[in-house]
């Protein structure tokens, strides 16, 4: 794995790297603990794998702990996740008890001593109750879309969130009056990760051949966990409508996250819907657990148009990845997506199946426009959403809090 900050000079320049080193000077030896609920699947795990080695390279002592749960716990936290993203799902007393009990057991098991503790998302939020060293700083990093939260579940979670020193969100849209310090930090991608490095034409073709996807027609792609909020069934409907005017293939590439108990049932529903049409390709194929990062990279690079038809979205790293690959993107204007897709400049925003269909068709018919949007999207990511900017934001925040 690439772990040296200097290796990013070719993307962001020497001045930026020197600035990051400068920020890290006062934080030498700082112990930094991150806690989340899965080591694989989804954007949080994706970013932690890349960020932590760079913090270490910059002289901080980093640790990553993953909360261990029970089936009822993960069912509870998925319900919380869905409710916080706007579904009308209450938490039962039994669920709340399990949530708190699992957190207590994990907080007893995990060494929580660190100068800075970053707790990701609602699953381990109650860890704050077990804060031992008063002088350490605790950040609650919430990655989910809080634009329409179920108020009962949000009030329950807020009791924990309020105890943190800082709450970090991906978008201003999610910030309500929490009564605590709030920071907005956009997520990021790593240009040196296997997910994002340049690939040769042969490497891309090999992945399409491995999954028996002919390169005879335009390819529409959505990469996402199979989750109701990513709306893969809506994407199939878009494809059905596009195909009536312009023959194409659709790839839905995804998988589940270890902390998501709903994934299996939902993917079965998507497979059933897709089985009616051999030009819809669901990956990974049944029986294979997940695609590799290089495979996802190749699928993105080989696609003609990348769709992100999410109904709710924290940020959508899949959009960042697509823009980095200079791909034209059609995405819904939810969560952090409009920060990335500036409508008509770095891609197209859409608000319905009809709108997505017409924008996909427009791009299929106007290749020049598709190339121009893709190029602008790449520059936008280079300037705003690379891992170096993310490190800088964290270092600034740690310095600020340490000085308070």
Least distance CB 244 / ligand UDP (angstroms): 28
Least distance CB 133 / ligand UDP (angstroms): 31
Whole-angstrom CA distances from 337 to 84, 329, 341 are 18, 11, 6
Q: Which is nearer to ligand UDP, 249 or 325 (CB)?
A: 325
Q: Which is nearer to ligand UDP, 241 or 271 (CB)?
A: 271
Least distance CB 256 / ligand UDP (angstroms): 8
Q: Is the distance from CB of 51 to CB of 390 less than 8 angstroms?
A: yes
Least distance CB 233 / ligand UDP (angstroms): 17
Q: How many CB atoms lie within 10 A of CB 382?
A: 15
**Which residues does 350 contact at the CB level (< 8 Å), separation at least 6?**
309, 330, 331, 332, 333, 356, 359
How far apart, in whole angstroms, are the C-alpha atoms of residue 68 and residue 259?
9
CA 250, distance to chain mean position in Å, is: 22
Interhelix angle 71-84/151-161, rounded to 10 degrees, is 110
Least distance CB 313 / ligand UDP (angstroms): 7
Least distance CB 158 / ligand UDP (angstroms): 22
Q: Which is nearer to ligand UDP, 165 or 393 (CB)?
A: 393
Dihedral, 374, 377, 382, 384 alpha carbons, nearest 10: -170
Nearest residue (beta carbon) to ligand UDP: 43
**Which residues does 155 contact at the CB level (< 8 Å), separation at least 6?**
none
How far apart, in whole angstroms, are the C-alpha atoms of residue 64 and residue 41?
16
**Which residues does 371 contact at the CB level (< 8 Å), separation at least 6?**
326, 328
Q: Which is nearer to ligand UDP, 24 or 306 (CB)?
A: 306
Whole-angstrom CA distances from 9 to 6, 15, 16, 390 are 6, 9, 8, 15
Q: Which is nearer to ligand UDP, 340 or 358 (CB)?
A: 340
Q: Is the distance from CB of 1 to CB of 53 less than 8 angstroms?
A: yes
Q: How many CB atoms lie within 10 A of CB 365?
A: 11
Residues that bind ligand UDP (CB under 6 A): 42-43, 46, 195, 223-225, 253-255, 290-291, 296, 315-318, 321
Least distance CB 230 / ligand UDP (angstroms): 7
Smallest CA-to-CA distance from 330 within 241, 199, 202, 207 is with 241
Q: Which is nearer to ligand UDP, 65 or 321 (CB)?
A: 321
Least distance CB 206 / ligand UDP (angstroms): 18
How far apart, in whole angstroms, are the C-alpha atoms of residue 254 and residue 62?
30
Q: Which is nearer to ligand UDP, 114 or 168 (CB)?
A: 168
Least distance CB 252 / ligand UDP (angstroms): 10
Q: Which is nearer to ligand UDP, 45 or 401 (CB)?
A: 45
Q: Which is nearer to ligand UDP, 46 or 304 (CB)?
A: 46
Q: Which is nearer to ligand UDP, 5 or 291 (CB)?
A: 291
How far apart, in whole angstroms, are the C-alpha atoms of residue 177 and residue 214?
52
Least distance CB 283 / ligand UDP (angstroms): 8
Q: Which H, E and C letters describe 63-83, residue by residue?
A: EEEECCCCHHHHHHHHHHHHH
Phi, psi for 99 (deg, rounded to 5): -55, -45
Least distance CB 312 / ligand UDP (angstroms): 9
Q: Which is nearer to ligand UDP, 308 or 357 (CB)?
A: 308
């Amino acid at each position: 794995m690439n772990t040296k900050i200097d290796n990013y000079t070719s993307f962001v320049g020497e001045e930026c790297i020197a600035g990051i080193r400068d920020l890290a000077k006062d934080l030498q030896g700082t112990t930094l603990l991150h806690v989340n609920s899965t080591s694989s699947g989804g954007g949080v795990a994706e970013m932690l794998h890349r960020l932590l080695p760079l913090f270490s390279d910059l002289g901080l002592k980093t640790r990553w702990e993953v909360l261990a749960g029970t089936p009822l716990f993960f069912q509870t936290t998925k319900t919380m996740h869905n409710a916080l993203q706007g579904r009308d799902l209450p938490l039962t007393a039994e669920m709340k008890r399990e949530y708190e009990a699992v957190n207590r057991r994990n907080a007893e098991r995990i060494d929580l001593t660190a100068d800075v503790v970053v707790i990701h998302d609602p699953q381990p939020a109650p860890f704050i109750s077990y804060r031992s060293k008063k002088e350490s700083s605790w950040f609650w990093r919430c990655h989910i879309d809080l634009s329409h939260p179920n108020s009962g579940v949000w009030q329950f979670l807020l009791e924990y969130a309020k105890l943190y020193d800082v709450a970090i969100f991906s978008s201003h849209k999610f910030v309500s009056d929490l009564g605590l310090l709030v920071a907005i930090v956009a997520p990021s991608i790593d240009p040196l990760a296997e997910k994002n490095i340049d690939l040769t034409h042969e490497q891309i073709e090999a992945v399409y051949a491995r999954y028996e996807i002919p390169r005879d027609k335009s390819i529409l792609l959505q990469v996402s966990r199979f989750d109701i909020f990513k709306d893969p069934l809506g994407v199939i409907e878009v494809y059905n409508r596009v195909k009536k005017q312009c023959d194409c293939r659709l790839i839905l590439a995804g998988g589940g996250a270890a902390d998501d108990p709903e994934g299996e049932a939902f993917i079965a529903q998507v497979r059933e819907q897709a089985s009616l049409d051999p030009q819809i390709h669901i990956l990974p194929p049944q029986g294979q657990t997940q695609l590799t990062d290089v495979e996802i990279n190749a699928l993105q690079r080989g696609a003609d148009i990348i769709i992100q038809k999410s109904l709710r979205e924290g940020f959508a790293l899949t959009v960042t990845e697509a823009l980095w690959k200079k791909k034209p993107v059609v995405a819904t204007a939810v969560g952090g997506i409009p920060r990335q897709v500036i409508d008509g400049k770095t891609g197209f925003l859409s608000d319905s199946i009809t709108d997505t269909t017409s924008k996909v068709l427009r791009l299929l018919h106007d290749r020049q426009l598709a190339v121009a949007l893709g190029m602008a999207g790449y520059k936008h990511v280079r300037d705003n959403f690379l891992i170096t900017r993310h490190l800088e934001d964290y270092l600034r925040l740690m310095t600020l809090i340490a000085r308070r």
